[in-house]
């Protein structure tokens, strides 16, 4: 709950992708969405996430 309140004060945060080291921004809505469902914030940028999802599908 404390975490959510802190997030409420900021508009967006910068996250560094652990795969390509690119810094991407996550807006409040995304952060809230992750905290609402109890997921940790992603450590990969949207591009790497999309790429991984695509690869995963191809392998299945």
When asked if residue 41 is in the footprint of Zn ion (CB under 5 A), the reply is: no
* Binding region for Zn ion (CB under 5 A) out of 7-15, 27-35, 41-49, 52-60: 41-49
Q: Who contacts 4 (Cβ-Cβ below 8 Å, separation ≥6)?
A: 32, 35
| Smallest separation, CB 9 to Zn ion (Å) | 27
CB of 19 to Zn ion, least distance (A): 4
Residues at the site binding Zn ion, with contacts judged by CB under 5 A: 17, 19-20, 22, 45, 48
């Amino acid at each position: 709950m404390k975490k959510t309140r802190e997030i409420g004060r900021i508009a967006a945060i910068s996250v560094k992708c652990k795969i390509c080291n690119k810094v991407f921004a996550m807006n409040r809505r995304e952060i809230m969405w992750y905290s609402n469902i109890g997921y940790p914030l992603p450590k990969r940028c949207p591009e790497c996430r999309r790429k991984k999802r695509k690869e995963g599908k191809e392998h299945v």
